[in-house]
Every structure is written in C-alpha cells, then in structure tokens.
Structure 1
C-alpha cells in the first residue's frame, strides 16, 4: 500500500544524536501528520568518547538513529564539538533551506554558528522558524550581559514564527522578551516514558536481588542521586543533608555518576564515618533502570539545571522527588506536598527536613510515588507531538 501523504514536512536541526531526543524523533516520525527529516551537525555521541563531567569514556547503549529519516551534514569546523559555537559550521544546511519543500524548520537554541546561519537565511527564503530551547530565568546573569543578551535575542525572536517552550519556566523566559501566548506551543522536555515503564515492570519484583548484588541493605529506604559529580549539581549538599538525617533515620544513599567531586565526597564520608553511602559510577541508560527500581526517593539539588530529565526518569519509576528551586523541571513536574518537595538551593537544613519527612513515613512515600507516576504519564511524547502540530497549523494560517 502507498504511504499516506502527511500534512506537514518538518525539517529539524540537531547538533548531534542525543539519547533523549532520538526516541522523540522516532515518535514524531510515526505520527500521522508530520513528515520529519532530521539534520545532524556532527556524529558526536555515536562513537565512544571521553566525557569531562563523568571523567569516563563511554558510548550510549540505546539506538540513536532508528525509526526516522536523518542526514549528517558536512561540518567545516576545524574541531567538531557541539558544545562550542564554532564547533558546528555546516554550510550544507543552506541546500535544504533552498529546497522549498518544507513547511517549517525546527531549530534548537542559538549557541552554534550553523543555527545563526539558519536564522539569517530563512527570512530570505520565507521558511518559518520554530524555536525550542531550555533557557529560563532561574540563574540571573550580570546586568551588562543581560542587556546585551536581551538586545540580541529580541532581534532574533522577530525572525521566529513560533516558540516551543519545554515547560513553565521556559515560557516565562520567552514572555520577558515580548513573546505572546498565541505564538507559544508546549513541546515539553520528555523522556521515553514507555521505555522506563517497561523496565519498571521488569525490575520491580527483583529489588532484593538487585540490592544484594550491590551489597545494599535490603530493609532500609534508598535515596538516589543520578548525574555528574560536579559543583553545579551540588552532590555534596545532599551528602551533608544525609549526614544530618542519618543521626535520626537509617537510610541508604546512592550516587550514580562520576566527576571531579568524587574524591572530595569519599573523603567526607570517611571523615564523618557515614554508613551506607554507595558511589556506583556511571551507569548507561539500560543499567540505570535497575538502580531506579530500588530507590525510594530521588534528589536533584543542583544550583542550576535548565530542566533535569533525570527527574522525568525517576517519576516513571513512581518515585517521590526532591529538587532545588533552581531545577527547571520543578516548575512543571514537582507538586510540593503531592509528589515531592522543592527546597531553596544550598539550604542543607531544608533539604534534610524534606528527606526526613519522606524517610520517616513509608505510606507518604508510596502515595507521593503514585502521584509522580500519574503526573509523568501526562508529560509525554504525545503532548510534544500535539504542540508541534499546533505550531505547524498556526504557521499555516500566517501564510
């Protein structure tokens, strides 16, 4: 049978294949109305590479290129690096903008030369831009930088047809630049919920076995941190809060991840003779599910976190979550007193109080975990696809 003609042809631009984006691209490609083509600026992430934050060489263990149409653009940069402005210089993108076969181009952020090349070119080609980024106002910048940024972005945003906020704080950021509600369409930061739901069912009955394999006490509640052990993630704040509550309530603290703060944290554990603190190192996507399954509480204490997709992941496993007030996901996914708590960043005492409330009440933990699950079920690929379609129909009306 011939394939059904889809309503819209969408060109998506991405710096490189990313483990969180790939499943979303696949879901979009399966939708009835969007014919998706993804252009990658580099092959970064496909082969194993050394990550400075994790202090480890690794390769993602999930497929990054399955289920959607894609193309790798020639990169003219002297040194390909998606985190650097001049690490992506892809003049070939102009060929796609000139083709006049797409209804819109979906651009993520403005931190690359190629993105600015697109911004400068699409107006000439009359190709509408749909802009998505994770920027928010949770981390104030110096006044001089703020004025310069505002001047640049206000001019840039005039070239954008529609905006795709990833959550509430991101939408508030756009509004400060004069973007109206009618030009914004929610395309939330999501993970592959079904992947984690499936793994939760797979591991839920194996908790004791998993704990035994890591020599973790079976009867104690487990607190989990997952991320790079760097200053911005504030893993030491959690360790200090754990030291406070462990005097009243026995528990286990697990760190999944690696980074420059590891040695300092291990020294702190020894100095204060803390028990039941486990440093597990980096865990890939499939391994991580095992650890989520044995956790009782998830904590992300970062001093700056534009979103924090590990919060989504933990909620897929039905865990109550505690986040700092600088974590973007907290604005949409954490309902204080319902499925977790939000504490003031750096306030060790407040974090310890949040931990104690959950550690001392198993029933509350279970109730909050169920609420996390119900919230995350409605923060999904389907909502993102709906937002993309609303944006595309809005753009169609403008023509």
Structure 2
C-alpha cells in the first residue's frame, strides 16, 4: 500500500455519525466508506468503536472481502457489572458477533483488554495496545517564563502549593468530593490551595459549596486553552482526578508528562497504566471522600509530592515503551496491510 497516495483526512457527504442515525443514513455513509476502501484497495482498517449500524455494516463488508478490521476502543472493564438484563444480553451478543468478524483488537490498556475479554468470551484475537496520547513535546517545553506569566495572570502566590483538578464540571467527575476533602484538610495544610480548571453545568453549585473562609484558597479558573492548561500544570503540585468512572482520561497523561504526581480513582483507564501507587501517585476507590481526604493528606505531607513528582517521567517512559499508538498501527500494518 502506498500511504503517500491517501489523503490525511477524508470527509464524506454524510459524515455525522450518531446512534440516532436512520438505517438509510447509515447505509449511505457505509457505502461511501466502502467505495473509498475498494477503489484504493485498502487491506486494513482501524475502526474506532463498533456501537452503531454504520460501523457494523463496514465490519460485515470487510469480513466478506478479506479486509482486516482492527477494532480500537476506549472502554474499560470497570462499571460493566451495572449492565444487566436485556442490555447485558444484547451487548454480549453484539461483541461476540464482532469478534468473529475482525482481525485484531486495539485496546487502550489493560482495562480495555479486560473489557473485550469479558464481553467477547473465548477468542484468539491478537492485541496491539493503542492508547490516547497528548502532544508530550509541547507539554515538556513549558518553561519558567510561561509558568510565571500564567501565575501572574491568575494572581497565584508562587510560595504556595496547589492541588489541581482539570476537566468538565459534571456529576461523574466528583469535583464536590475534592472540595469537601480539601475543606477537611485545609487547616492541617495551611500552605496548600485548590485550583479547579474547567467549566460545566455544576459550576454554580460547586462555587456555592465553598465557605467564606476558603474563598481565597479554592480558585475556579474557568476554561483554559491548551497552552494555558500546560502552564497550569507547571504551576501546580498534585493532580486530583476522582471520577466515578472514566474510560481513559487524557488529563492523567498530560499531568504525568508535566511532572505531577496524581491521585485518581482505580476505575480510570489511564490511572491503571500511569500511576504506580506510592511511586508517582495514589489510587483510591471511587465515591469515597474519606479515602480522597487521606490521599490528599498523605501526598501533601512534607516533600512527598516532590518525591513522587520526580518519578513521573520514569513511569511515563515505561508506559511509552510498551504502548506507543504509532508503533501499534505500524506493527499492525506490517502484519496485515
């Protein structure tokens, strides 16, 4: 296959793909994609997801025409026990149908592999670990000048230390638990503040939670552009990310690349790969404010955060050595394309 002849981005007439698409819409879009694959004699397709009629049509066509489908997905095993009854039966049947028609899997990590193994049952599909990755080089080039400029803009005291949450302000992220935990430890950690970067429907409710005495120590930063987010990492000392569930969480990759130790729940895909408990962060159970409080106390004790932060690059290097998404696709192409 001559990759130079394939445009980097291809748009199709009916490019919007949703679960609510009609059969005709899915049929038209899958037909356009299939025609593109046929005319270019493409022998391998990395398919992101399986959960709509269009993708399933492509999977079925590929099986009939000896085109290799590598299924990529960010689902993870956590939370699957909540799927019961008819939904559980349909999901199992769907994924076992898919397993018989694809060539290989491209999970994000161990939690993703466990997800596929759980729903697909016994299978012999090879796997190529293919995670989400940020622009690491951009994160690493954030220097003191950018960090200092950001701190001045946001009126940060350079002598204080900062817990950071970065993400959407929605229920599943459990930002309220972070605020509650910080309120519990604030007197024991008088030199620490809490930064909350992001916007969302819970912003007003979360701001109302903050007591008058902590108004100056819990700072809502609003939406940040990516360069501002990088500077915010550089100005912070610990990332706190305690959602009830999250398939991956790219924010953990970013924070680790910026040298931050991380507190996260063990139901987050990236946390299971990029946090080595006690080495560069802490893993806790979800929806447990006591566990979160203890973790924030532990990591903010003395030089603990600094010592853990010094180990983040080693942990990231170990992860990248076994889970490079570019090499995953290259290795798969060498085998199947």
Give the TM-score taking structure 2 as reference length.
0.89
How many positions carry a matched residue from both structures? Answer: 327
Which stretch shifts more, 263-272 or 251-260? 263-272
Corresponding position of 2:105: 163
Kept in 2, the 8 Å contact 1:297–1:319? The answer is: yes
Deviation at 1:380, TM superposition (A): 4.2
Tell me the distance in 1 between the aligned counterparts of 2:307 and 2:79.
Answer: 32
Corresponding position of 1:264: 205
Gapped runs of 5+ residues in structure 2?
Answer: none
Corresponding position of 1:18: none
Structure 1 runs (4+) greater than 6 angstroms displaced: none
Tell me the distance in 2 between the aligned counterparts of 1:207 and 1:69.
Answer: 34
Deviation at 1:162, TM superposition (A): 0.8
Tell me the distance in 2 between the aligned counterparts of 1:368 and 1:324.
Answer: 17
After the TM superposition, which residues 201-350 of structure 1 pair with which residues of structure 2 at under 5 Å, given as runs? 202=143, 204=144, 207-250=147-190, 251-270=192-211, 273-350=214-291
Kept in 1, the 8 Å contact 2:147–2:232? The answer is: no
Deviation at 1:223, TM superposition (A): 0.7
Q: More helix by proportion, 1 or 2? A: 2
Which stretch shifts more, 377-386 or 148-157? 377-386
Tell me the distance in 2 between the aligned counterparts of 1:36 and 1:114.
Answer: 25
Tell me the distance in 2 between the aligned counterparts of 1:99 and 1:380.
Answer: 36
Tell me the distance in 1 between the aligned counterparts of 2:307 and 2:20.
Answer: 45
Kept in 2, the 8 Å contact 1:304–1:326? The answer is: yes
Q: 1:267 to 1:98 in 2, by over 3 A?
A: same
Corresponding position of 1:74: 13
Corresponding position of 1:196: 139
Q: 1:97 to 1:206 in 2, by over 3 A?
A: closer
Deviations 1:81-138 (A, max 9, x none): x554529742311211322521201100023343222112112222110110011121
After the TM superposition, which residues 1-399 of structure 1 pair with which residues of structure 2 at under 5 Å, given as runs? 8=1, 37=6, 69-75=8-14, 80=16, 82=17, 84-86=19-21, 89=26, 90=29, 91-99=31-39, 101-140=41-80, 141-144=82-85, 145-176=87-118, 177-178=120-121, 180=123, 183-199=126-142, 202=143, 204=144, 207-250=147-190, 251-270=192-211, 273-362=214-303, 364-380=304-320, 383-395=324-336
Tell me the distance in 2 between the aligned counterparts of 1:160 and 1:93.
Answer: 17
Deviation at 1:244, TM superposition (A): 0.8
SS at match of 1:299: strand
Deviations 1:270-327 (A, max 9, x none): 3674541111111121221111110100011111100000000011110000101221
Q: CA RMSD in A?
A: 2.3
Tell me the distance in 1 between the aligned counterparts of 2:266 and 2:5.
Answer: 36
Kept in 2, the 8 Å contact 1:193–1:380? The answer is: no
Tell me the distance in 1 between the aligned counterparts of 2:136 and 2:5.
Answer: 21
Tell me the distance in 1 between the aligned counterparts of 2:102 and 2:4.
Answer: 21
